[in-house]
Chains A and B, each alone.
Chain A
Amino acid sequence: MSKIWIMIAKRLGLGVLTLFAISIIIFLATELLPGDLARSILGQSATEETVAAFQRELGLDQPAHVRYAQWLWGAVQGDFGTSLANRRPIADLIGTRLANTMFLAIYAAAIAVPLSLILGIMAALFRNTWFDRGANAVALSAISFPEFFVAYILIFVLAQSGLFPSMARIDSTTTFADALYKTFLPALTLTLVVTAHMMRMTRAAIINLLASPYIEMAQLKGMPPARIILVHALPNALAPIITVIALNLAYLITGVVVVEAVFVYPGLGQLMVDSVSKRDIPVVQAVALIFAAAYVLLNLLADVLATLSNPRLIHPK
């Protein structure tokens, strides 16, 4: 048992190190700006005094490493400074939006993960039949479609007839059931985008194993195909499947940016896109850090779970 904890601690340490490096990159990226941050925001017509005052307000008169330390210390405590565009604390802007984005991502994952597992297992079970071919062709096309194409097709088909709302406007007064109904189309869009990939990987991972001698043995014993796949092949295919599920959940985190824009959903992605066009750098940095942290954490989780599912990885020779 202790070996597992050591392994998890090692991975966690590596994750924290990665996050630290990412925070440096996100922070230092602004230092790459040609010229002066204050001047480029205030414009050419600003006087020397306004620029100097603005620089002092942003703390730009201090050296970069001091500002980085302050920024990181604040970020760890949940304080990301103030927005340049509307002078509000960034933590206030992010608060409910982060919850909204998490809700959408979890909603999509709750549909996508079981669906893709079932479809993948069925495609492996009925391999090389019309079902398999059809599912594969649809999956390959779905991977190739831009998210907004999928989103607008869904709006065209489902929202036009009034079945579902095309705008996912929710606020604090929206009840849970109502939120589920209103965000169904964005969640379905995300589901379609990630399901294809997860399904193909599940199928490939299982089929890879079907050539193994122990599967042949099971076949020779006269086991039904469904039992062979579910009881014999699936446990050994878990590691790649878990990895690809986590990768796709991480993808959901960035996929929400476009989908939120289509459905006017008040989430982090919307905030980021708005802030990019306003060049509100502190907000973009904060949101980028949150997205990157979620990405790293999910990858870490995948790594740990994939190791746990395979005893050979826990006890290396």
Chain B
Amino acid sequence: MEVLTTLFWIAVAVSVGMAAGWLFLRVLATALPGRAGRVFRSAPISAGFGMLVILIYLLVAILAPAIAPFSEREVVGGQFLPWDATHLLGTDNLGRDMFSRLVYGARNTVGIAFVTTALAFLLGSVLGLLAAAVGGWLDQVLSRVVDVLMAIPALVFSLLLLTIFGTSVVTLILVIAVIDSTRVFRLARSVGMNIVVMDFIEAARLRGEGLFHLIVREILPNASAPLIAEFGLRFCFVFLTISALSFLGLGIQPPTADWGSMVKENAVLITFGDITPLLPAGCIALLTVAVNFVVDWMLHRASGLKE
């Protein structure tokens, strides 16, 4: 019986999500004029759902102080209070308001993951495109270094570096960004390699264009589609890594509200049948699923595949 009710609620959640995604696409398609509107009209429901979720997360992250009833660090009541009108989702292990921390978590966790991904991307794509454009020994050296760095499992490598440099937000961002930039480098280089052999690059070289112009004006615009999709995938990966590290107590440090460490701090409730600690983990999962849906659609559009 319990299984049936669970299945029923899952079915309800899926259909509500699909309806919301469809509605969001309709709104976008009618609100945006011309070509942009047409793009959204043909988008799958999953992509609409994904975009809607990402938009909601963004709004929550930006408006966090306005939405949250309490501050993220303030102790406002007893420990592990149940859900009620003042404390919507109860309180955590120290008596802080769970809902407020969840809202601030959107800002902290997603913000840090985004900054890290952006940094990894900047580093990886610049070096990757440079290696493709210059070639020769520079390409050889960079590629071999990346090969060796990629032979170490990412989580293990980041744990090693965090031991050495200590655990703070800045080292966390730098360590993960450097490790993930190796993966971006691989993609940027292989995409760049296919572009530098084209005739228009030859023409630009003969015109006497400099390296900067070559990379930014000639290669980058043609490499943007796979790179943007990779950005989404990388974001998911970085987001999960940072959450895992925070969960292990080695990432974002308390008292900053962060979804990974919130799960760990309140995990004891799960054995008593309270699902509150699962909510932050669910927030992580929902955003990752949403980004994956959007990336799937973008890759599909970029490749022009018709399945």
Contacts and interface: CB of A to CB of B under 8 A. Distances in A.
Nearest to A30: B164
A160 B274 CA distance: 10
B151 A148 contact: no
Given A148-B281, A156-B270, A279-B166, A292 B153 contact: yes
B148 A285 contact: no
Interface in A154-181: 155-156, 159-160, 166
Contacts of A32: 164-165
Given A145-B285, A160-B273, A254-B155, A22 B148 contact: yes
A258 B158 CA distance: 14
Nearest to B289: A144
A160 B153 contact: no
Nearest to A258: B244
B206 interface: no
Given A148-B281, A160-B271, A292-B153, A261 B160 contact: no
**Looking at chain A, what size class is its interface with the partner chain?**
35 or more
Interface in A128-163: 140-141, 143-149, 152-153, 155-156, 159-160
Contact of A145 (B147, B288, B296): B288
B70 interface: no
A143 B233 CA distance: 11
Interface stretch (B82-90, B112-120, B190-198, B247-255): B247-255
Contacts of B250: 273, 276-277
B266 to A, nearest CB: 10
Given A140-B289, A144-B288, A148-B263, A250 B271 contact: no
Contacts of B148: 18, 21-22, 25
Nearest to B264: A148
Chain B interface mostly helix, strand, loop or mixed? Answer: helix
Contacts of B247: 146, 148, 258, 261
B282 A149 contact: yes
B238 to A, nearest CB: 12
Interface string A255-276: 0011001100000000011011
Nearest to A295: B153
B277 A146 contact: no
A149 B271 contact: no
Given A272-B156, A281-B163, A295 B281 contact: no
A279 B271 contact: no
A285 B164 CA distance: 10
Contact of A152 (B154, B164, B244, B267): B267
A292 B248 contact: no
Nearest to B287: A144
The 4 A-B residue pairs whose C-beta atoms are closest, nearest first, are A149-B281, A144-B288, A254-B153, A144-B289
7 contacts: A22-B148, A22-B152, A149-B285, A159-B271, A250-B153, A257-B156, A272-B159
Interface of B: 147-149, 151-157, 159-167, 236, 240, 243-244, 247-250, 260, 263-264, 267, 270-271, 273, 275, 277-278, 281-282, 284-285, 288-289, 292, 296
